[in-house]
Amino acid sequence: MSATARDPRRPPAWDVLIIGAGVIGLATAWRVASRGLSVTVVDPDPAGGACRVAAGMLTPVSELAYGEEPLLRLGIASRDRYASFVAELEEAAGHETGYRRDGLLQVAFDSDDLAFLDDLRRFQESLGVPVEALTGRECRRLEPMLAPSVRGGLLAPEDGSVDPRRLTGALLVACQNAGVRLVERRADALIVERDTATGVRLDDGAELRAGKVLLAAGAWSNDLKGLPDGVVPEVRPVKGQVVRLRARAPFLGRATRGLVRGSSIYLVPRADGEIVVGATQEEMGFDTTVTAGGLWQLLRDARELLPGVTELEFAEVSAGLRPGSPDNAPVLGASALPGLFLATGHFRNGVLLAPVTADAMAEMLVDGTVPEVAAPFTPDRFEPFEVEARA
Ligand code: GLY
């Protein structure tokens, strides 16, 4: 913890300092700056973390899991905000984001997979979210390249996708146009004075002061020195390997998930022919090695669902680190340390939750109120909150 003394008459240089220029940090910076506050964002590799690898599925209904009803509500709120969010962003940045809302098709490879989807549909319907059950033939009518063996599926018509690389590219421009300062350095330590977070020390020793500090560093959220114990819940990296292919002719009309003998796979098409195939889910610490096994698993399952996938051009393979909180839900709001706010732990949903997170954090940082949709996700759900300096 820094004990650097500061002249109390000197105002902080910035209203808000954000650690992390991923999709969450950038979207929040843009929203906060649009509300008239001065914002600086610190990141050695802006837009270079998990959002560079992410496929960009906006699929809260299709990715619903038991016990995650509050997350479903947050995800739907964010998905439903996407159209206006990207319209405003594209206008502010002069860049398009690849946003589309053409539904998500989820298909089953064998009868066990189909039984799982039937169960999921009942659960979705019990929560009042619309999905359409389809036979194998109806799935193939929607997506003619699907294998004849596909047994059936579900269509979530309101789900969609966005291109996270274009999205963060647009956010960088919109931030710049809104006066956000970007500092391409690593935040090394939090500065805490009189039990209040007042800034960060960078890896070159420079110090930046702000009225409020927002930690949005994804899987690296526990790396900052000077964080008092218990203030930031443990955020673990969960590796995802992703393959990018390229189609020269129409191949897939909409984002498609598949269950192949119990193993999940998704393919997300872009207007320019890119097809993103994802993703593995591996608890391997900070390892981003692309492995032969990961690549094989993705291509094997993709080929089972869409045999023509082997004809596509190979473009890229990469691995990213999702930030998983202890309950796999995001952590949004004021921490137990005055001056320090958290927007982290978005796990599989960083891109999906960017609009709702940015708006919620802007409300918390600017107005000091917690919007109802974010209330289940505040940091105080994790106990205990002992604020003690780390050695
Ligand atoms: N949201 C998809 C993934 O994390 O793989």
Residues 347, 65: Cα–Cα separation, whole Å = 13
Q: Give the model's confidence band at 320: pLDDT under 50 very low, under 70 low, under 90 confident, else very high.
A: very high
The residue assigned the tokens 């596509």 is: 312
Q: What is the rounded average pLDDT of the residues 112-138?
A: 94
From 236, 322, 346, 347, give the residue whose CB has the most ligand 1 atoms within 8 Å, as the site to mutate: 322
User: Please, what are the domains in the chain?
Assistant: 14-51+166-235+326-381 (3.50.50.60), 104-157+236-324 (3.30.9.10)
Q: Give the model's confidence band at 3: pLDDT under 50 very low, under 70 low, under 90 confident, else very high.
A: very low
Q: Give the model's confidence band at 10: pLDDT under 50 very low, under 70 low, under 90 confident, else very high.
A: low
Q: What is the pLDDT of residue 76?
A: 96
Q: What is the mean pLDDT of the chain?
A: 94
DSSP conformation class of 12: P
Within 8 A by CB and 6+ apart from 368, the residues are none
Q: What is the pLDDT of residue 84?
A: 98
Q: What is the pLDDT of residue 157?
A: 94
Token digits for 151? 């047994």
pTM above 0.75, yes or no: yes
Q: What is the pLDDT of residues 59-117, one digit of tens each?
A: 998 888 888 899 999 999 999 999 999 999 999 999 999 999 999 999 999 999 999 99
In this predicted structure, the answer to whether residue 264 has a pLDDT above a threshold of 90 is yes
* C-alpha of residue 55 to centroid of ligand 1, in Å: 7
From 51, 349, 351, give the residue whose CB has the most ligand 1 atoms within 8 Å, as the site to mutate: 349
Q: What is the pLDDT of residue 4?
A: 44
Beta strands, E only, the chain: 14-19, 39-42, 57-58, 104-108, 132-135, 152-156, 160-161, 181-183, 187-193, 196-202, 207-215, 236-246, 255-260, 263-269, 274-278, 313-324, 331-334, 340-344
* Strand, helix or coil for residue 209: strand
- Among protein residues, the one with the nearest Cα to ligand 1's atom 3 is 348
Amino acid at 98: G
Q: What is the pLDDT of residues 16-49, one digit of tens each?
A: 999 999 999 999 999 999 999 999 999 999 999 9
Q: Give yes or no for residue 348 CB within 6 A of ligand 1.
A: yes
Q: Give yes or no for residue 218 CB within 6 A of ligand 1.
A: no
* Atom of ligand 1 at shortest range from CA of 57: 1
Q: Give yes or no for residue 240 CB within 6 A of ligand 1.
A: yes
Residues 342, 19: Cα–Cα separation, whole Å = 10
* Atom of ligand 1 at shortest range from CA of 281: 5
- Rounded to 5 degrees, φ, ψ at 85 are -60, -50
- Among protein residues, the one with the nearest Cα to ligand 1's atom 4 is 348
